[in-house]
Amino acid sequence: MKALDVNDLWRSSAGKLQKILNADIYSRWIEVIQPVECRESTLILAVDNDFYQEWLEENYLPLIQQAVNSSTDQQLEIKFVIQARAKADSTTDAPQAEKTRRKTIRERLGISTRQASSPLNSGYTFDEFIVGPCNNFAHAACLAVAQAPARAYNPLFIYGGNGLGKTHLMHAIGHHILKDARAAVRYISCETMLNEYIAALQDQSMPEFRKAYRSIDILLIDDIQFLAGKDALQEEFFHTFNALFDARKQIVMTSDRPVTEITRLEKRLVTRFEWGLVTEIEPLDLETRLAILHHKLHNMQTSLPDEIITFIAENVRSNVRPIEGALTRAVSYASLTGRPLTIDSLKHLLRDTLDNEKQEEITFDVIQRTVAEHYDVRLSDMTSTRRPRDIAAPRQLAMYLCRKMTRSSLPDIANAFRKTHATILHACKTVENRMAVEPELRDEVRTISTKLGKRLV
Ligand code: ADP
Ligand code: MG
């Protein structure tokens, strides 16, 4: 391949990446890549330094590979090399891009403690949060923290599945505190924090980064599970955490899983995250789903027949996002067509949502049966206390699969196996550890999960 082709190939691949990545990520991580050459079916791409190299290899290589594959018939391996920017400067407007990039980093770090840089969603308030059996503990804990920051529970750790209101509650804490205090509230997703951290390393502005984080009064970090395996950030965050905690500042974190299930998270962080209060938002119950629907309808200043509301509440269960989507569609149908909405037309309108919901419905019973069958053990052994390894191991695997493949809460899973919460967590950990070193077990998990209709590994 000639040099020109490399540029074309990269331009086309980058174009594809631009379409799927958000603009910030694209300009930070992809725009900085320079194509070098294609040699012996290797596409060589240059970046400025080893941060970029490692970060791209660890996080974006599969995406980049995909984009390159779809831009050429050749099977190319991708290799990053470190190369100073000077060479490429003559052909592109890279210096300008670099200047802009540095400026935004500074701007970001400079204003990061001000409210303007972490706008809270104005709709995510306590008033707009519907409290029900599935989330009342989490809600009460958040309210307590908002009313007495750093005195009630510190840190506060909220975990639960997707779309169950973790981010909403976190913003609500921020709004509540800002209502009557001039505190420095900072809401940030863990991924953005990581980007800022790397930018600060790049930019040699770590002192500013630290200063910015340590001058925060209320730190709200969303999706902390993103720390998994990011050792350097964990180290940095450990010190930030300690500094804030010692200065009696409030820290709130959310995660899509319990602390102990975040893989490759340093022990000392696990311990600290559990210092204050850990609270779970459980999967939505019918009562809460109905209350959410009524509340949102009220906000939309409209109404729907009871049977329509009940149908949505009974059939769209996974999380609040598809419930909101279903509601919007139902409401707009009536106003767009001018015809009353029937259950049949609603079913048609929501067919994709309903299909998704069905696919996600894997029950404990089906998992237990499938596992028992696969290992040729009795179904009753799934809930027994018999200890022989040929029974205990499949049982642990079934627990693990219930945790991974259903949205049910730990207590519900524990119930289904007639075991304690701790036993389930232990089983999950054991299976994960074994899978890391036993390829045969991974194969078995793949086979069983495929049988269950949702391949896991
Ligand atoms: P998560 O962060 O847990 O993934 P979000 O907080 O982003 O979920 O919530 C998803 C959407 O559902 C948001 O629009 C949020 O306002 C809404 N939502 C979630 N839980 C509730 C609730 N209990 N009451 C009202 N709205 C909710
Ligand atoms: Mg969220």
Give 104-155 pLDDT, tens digit per residue. Answer: 433 443 333 334 444 789 999 999 999 999 999 999 999 999 999 999 999 9
Residues whose CB is less than 8 angstroms from the CB of residue 426 and which lie 6 or more positions away in sequence, other chains included: none
28 pLDDT more than 80: no
**CA 253 to ligand 1 centroid distance, Å:** 16
Residue 356 has pLDDT above 80, yes or no: yes
The residue whose C-alpha atom lies closest to atom 9 belonging to ligand 1 is 165
Buried b (16+ CB within 10 A) or exposed e, 107-145: ebbeebbebebbebeeebbbebbbbbebbebbbebbbbb
Residue 299 has pLDDT above 90, yes or no: yes
Q: How much of the chain, in percent, has pLDDT values that exceed 70?
A: 90
**Is residue 3's pLDDT more than 70?**
no
Instruction: Give the pLDDT of residue 362.
Output: 79
Of all ligands present, the nearest one to the C-alpha of 123 is 1
Instruction: Note the pLDDT tens digit of each residue in 185-221.
Output: 999 999 999 999 999 999 899 999 999 999 999 999 9
Question: 100, 92, 158: which is closest to 129 by C-alpha?
Answer: 158
Contact 401, 371 (CB under 8 A): yes
Ligand closest to Cα of 131 equals 1
Quote the CA–CA distance of 100 and 84 in Å, as a whole number. 18
Indicate which residue's Cα is closest to atom 20 of ligand 1.
165
For residue 92, the model assigns a pLDDT of 46
Where residue 284 falls (left for φ over 0; alpha for ψ -120 to 50; beta otherwise) is: beta
Residue nearest to atom 26 of ligand 1 (CA): 129
* Ligand 1 pocket, residue 162 CB under 6 Å: yes
- Residue 80: enclosing H or E segment and its boundaries? strand 77-82
- The answer, yes or no, to whether any atom of ligand 1 lies below 6 A from the CB of 168, is yes
Q: Does ligand 1 have an atom closer than 6 angstroms to the CB of 318?
A: no
CA 66 from centroid of its chain's CA atoms: 22
Q: Other C-beta atoms within 10 Å of 178: how many? A: 16
What DSSP line would sit under 9-61, residue for residue?
HHHHHHHHHHHHS-HHHIIIIITT-EEEEEETTEEEEEESSHHHHHHHHHHTH
Which is nearest to 16 in space by CA: 63, 78, 55? 63
403 burial (CB, 10 Å; 0-12 / 13-18 / 19+) is buried
Q: Residue 163: which H helix or E strand, with range?
A: none
pLDDT: which is higher, 241 or 51: 241
Determine if ligand 1 sits within 6 Å of the CB of residue 164. Answer: yes
Query: What distance in angstroms lies between residue 369's CA and the mean position of ligand 2's atoms?
Result: 34
- For residue 164, the CA-to-ligand 1 centroid distance in Å is 5
Residue carrying the six token digits 């609500």? 172
Residue 428 near residue 456 (C-beta atoms within 8 A): no
**Residue 298 or residue 334, greater confidence:** 298
Ligand nearest to the CA of 170: 1
pLDDT at 410: 86
Write out the CATH class of domain 286-359: mainly alpha
Strands 156-160 and 185-189: unpaired
Ligand 1 and 325: CB distance under 6 A = no
Residues around ion ligand 2, judged by CB within 5 A, are 166-167
Question: Which residues lie below 8 Å from residue 86, measured CB to CB, with a gap of 6+?
Answer: none
- pLDDT at position 95 is 54
Buried/exposed code over 63-101 (b: 16+ C-beta within 10 A; e: otherwise): bbeebbeebbeeebebebeebebeebeeeeebeeeeeeb
Residue 305 CB–ligand 1 contact under 6 Å: no
Tokens of 417: 């196996």
Ligand 1 atom nearest the C-alpha of 135 is 23
Residue whose entry in the numeric block shows the structure tokens 């790397």: 198
**286-359 and 364-451: identical CATH topology:** no
**Eight-state DSSP code of residue 358:** H
User: What's the CA-to-centroid distance between 66 and ligand 2, angstroms?
Assistant: 28
Mean pLDDT over 356-378 rounds to: 86
Residue with CA nearest ligand 1 atom 21: 165
The domain locations on the chain are 6-112, 136-281, 286-359, 364-451
Expressed in angstroms and rounded, the spacing between residue 163 Cα and the centre of ligand 2 is 7
**Ligand 1 near 425 CB (within 6 A):** no
Residue 421 has pLDDT above 60, yes or no: yes
Q: Which residues contact 114 (CB under 8 A, 6 or more apart)?
A: 184
Q: Is the CB of 225 under 6 A from ligand 1?
A: no
From the CB of 124, is ligand 1 less than 6 Å away? yes
| Structural fold of domain 364-451 | Chromosomal Replication Initiator Protein Dnaa; Chain: A; (1.10.1750)
The residue written with tokens 């908002």 in the block is: 146
Q: Which ligand is the nearest neighbour of the Cα of 223?
A: 2
HSE of 430, CA atoms in CB hemisphere, 13 A: 16
Residues 218-232 have a mean pLDDT of 95
- Is pLDDT of 91 > 50? no
pLDDT at 417 (0 to 100): 94
CATH architecture of 6-112: 2-Layer Sandwich (3.30)
Alpha-helical segments (H) within 362-438? 364-375, 389-405, 410-417, 421-437
Q: Identify the nearest ligand to the CA of 158 by its number.
A: 1
Structure token digits, residue 204: 């040699």
- Closest atom of ligand 1 to 320 CA is 12
Task: Return the number of other C-beta atoms located less than 10 Å from residue 293's C-beta.
Answer: 24
Q: Return mean pLDDT, the chain.
A: 87
The CATH homologous superfamily to which domain 136-281 belongs is: P-loop containing nucleotide triphosphate hydrolases (3.40.50.300)
Q: How far is CA 298 from CA 286, 303, 385, in A?
A: 18, 7, 50
Q: What's the rounded Cα separation, in Å, for the pair 357 and 347?
A: 13
What three-state secondary structure class fits 355? Answer: helix
Cβ of residue 35 lying under 6 Å from some atom of ligand 1: no
Which residue of 168, 188, 224, 254 sits with most ligand 1 atoms within 8 Å of its CB, as the best mutation to test the pocket? 168
Instruction: Decide whether any atom of ligand 1 lies within 6 Å of the 135 Cβ.
Output: yes
Atom of ligand 1 nearest to the CA of 168: 6
